[in-house]
């Protein structure tokens, strides 16, 4: 189970999904309706807290790729006075910056959390600031520039590197929140990749960290609806509900009141994590649907890298429905799966050959199915065609565009 205490706030599987209200001081922002004037930040924060915000995130530099650049001094002059005005709010205050000196000043002024969209890649000094203040950090998937990983596999690889590096440098593992970088951070990030990320948020459980999803009014919603940022509220709420259903622990939003309602309903519909605890002992059913995630799970318990590579294809179980299969081929497939430790379910009539064709369910790990494919590919009748079909099925399962094309 994922359970952490972040700046005094409990976050995780057994907790309500937390809502982070956004205070945007950047007039360069893609969503002009979200911009708050420095002198009104306290009123804006109080309003969000009254509406149900559990955290407040304040930033003064737009991370929108098309935003005009501003100087570090411009960011500081907007941000630090606003942080000082918010130092006494009753919820944790997060500061959205990529610069260590600004983060340090903000923490000394009253902020409690660093939100670094570069994932500690823009400014090496950010790690030392976080260590010095022993504060929680939100780290977004990034490689060379913020949000540049394209596709969920790349996001996971980026976060794996970022988390490992941060922990090796002394960041408390219990104070790391991860952000999968939803949004058009680079030109290569098409909407299809953001939908893939939202649909696969549960894959991030392998890291054992709270997951923050920043969805509010982003461009993938605009491209889907063909609407400007000011008209993307309902689309944002729909995407937010899916993200919560799929495991997000924190939702970052410009629209707190509406998001709180959507989050509460979606959280109520989220499946329970199968986990139990008895004294010092714990048990949890891992939902592993990708063999590389299986390898990461094995590494997380101390398995060797070689061992994890050998065993990873045994971590994913498939139940594959095959239709209209000739009875003889169906019986051969069942025998071949049994010989590999798997199985296949057939109707009773197949055993006595009372019917010419049957539907069947092949049950086995990825490794067992791969070995089945290899075995039947060179046999007679239609078995090679079934092997080709199973190969295509696996390819389609792993192909982003075939799953999310519209």
Active site residue 218: yes
Distance of alpha carbon 189 from alpha carbon 212, whole angstroms: 19
Q: Tell me how far apart the alpha carbons of residues 138 and 116 are, in angstroms, rounded to a whole number.
A: 6
Number of alpha carbons in the 13 Å side-chain half-sphere of residue 229 = 17
* Catalytic-role residue among 4, 245, 252, 334: 252
Which of these, 299, 338, 329, lies nearest to 390 by C-alpha position? 329
Given a contact cutoff of 8 angstroms between Cβ atoms, the answer to whether 293 and 314 are in contact is no
Whether 9 contacts 92, CB under 8 Å: yes
Sign of the CA dihedral 23, 105, 173, 297?
A: positive
> How far, in Å, CA of 373 to CA of 368, rounded?
9
Q: Please give the Cα distance from 95 to 367 (Å, whole number).
A: 46
Measured over all CA atoms, what is the biggest interatomic distance in the chain, rounded to whole angstroms?
Answer: 82
Q: Do 86 and 60 contact (CB within 8 A), yes or no? A: no
Asked if 195 and 404 count as a contact pair (C-beta separation under 8 A), the reply is: yes
Provide the residue count of the chain. Answer: 406
- Write out the H or E segment, with its range, that includes residue 90: none
The active-site residue out of 78, 218, 312, 334 is: 218
- What is the DSSP code string of 350-383? HHTT-SSEEEEEEEEEHHHHHHHHHHHTTSSTTH
Asked about 252 being catalytic, the answer comes back as: yes
Rg of the chain, C-alpha, whole Å:
25
- Helical ranges in 112-200 per DSSP H: 125-133, 152-168, 191-199
Which residues have a Cβ under 8 Å from the Cβ of 305 and sit 6 or more positions away?
Answer: 299
CA angle 14–140–263, rounded 5-degree value: 40
Catalytically active residues are 218, 252
């Amino acid at each position: 189970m994922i359970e952490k205490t972040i700046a005094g706030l409990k976050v995780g599987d057994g907790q309500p999904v937390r809502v982070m209200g956004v205070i945007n001081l950047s007039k360069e922002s893609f969503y002009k309706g979200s911009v708050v004037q420095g002198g009104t930040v306290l009123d804006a924060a109080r309003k969000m807290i009254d509406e149900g915000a559990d955290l407040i995130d304040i930033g003064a530099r737009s991370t929108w790729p098309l935003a005009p650049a501003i100087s570090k001094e411009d960011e500081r002059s907007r941000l630090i006075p606003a942080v000082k005005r918010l130092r006494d709010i009753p919820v944790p205050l997060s500061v959205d910056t990529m610069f260590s000196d600004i983060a340090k000043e903000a923490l000394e002024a009253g902020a409690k959390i660093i939100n670094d969209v570069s994932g500690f890649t823009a400014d090496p000094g950010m790690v030392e600031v976080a260590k010095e203040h022993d504060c929680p950090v939100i780290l977004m998937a990034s490689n060379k520039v913020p949000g540049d990983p394209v596709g969920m596999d790349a996001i996971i690889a980026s976060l794996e590197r970022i988390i490992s590096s941060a922990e090796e440098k002394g960041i408390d593992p219990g104070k790391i929140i991860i952000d999968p970088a939803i949004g058009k951070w680079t030109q290569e990030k098409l909407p299809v990749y953001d939908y893939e990320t939202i649909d696969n948020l549960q894959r991030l459980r392998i890291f054992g960290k709270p997951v923050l999803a920043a969805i509010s009014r982003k461009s993938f919603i605009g491209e889907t609806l063909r609407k400007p940022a000011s008209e993307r509220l309902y689309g944002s709420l729909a995407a937010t509900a899916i993200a919560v259903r799929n495991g997000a622990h924190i939702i970052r939003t410009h629209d707190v009141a509406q998001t709180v309602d959507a989050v509460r309903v979606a959280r109520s519909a989220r499946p329970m994590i199968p986990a139990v605890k008895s004294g010092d002992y714990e048990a949890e059913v891992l939902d592993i649907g990708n063999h590389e995630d299986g390898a990461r799970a094995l590494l997380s318990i101390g398995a060797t890298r070689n061992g994890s590579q050998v065993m990873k294809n045994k971590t994913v179980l498939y139940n594959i429905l095959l239709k209209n299969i000739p009875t003889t081929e169906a019986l051969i497939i069942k025998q071949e799966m049994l010989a590999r430790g798997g199985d296949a379910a057939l109707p009773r009539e197949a055993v006595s050959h009372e019917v010419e064709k049957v539907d069947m369910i092949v049950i086995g790990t990825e490794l067992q199915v791969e070995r089945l494919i290899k075995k039947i590919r060179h046999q007679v009748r239609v078995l090679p065609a079934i092997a080709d079909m199973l190969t295509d099925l696996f390819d389609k399962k792993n192909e982003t565009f075939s799953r999310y094309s519209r």
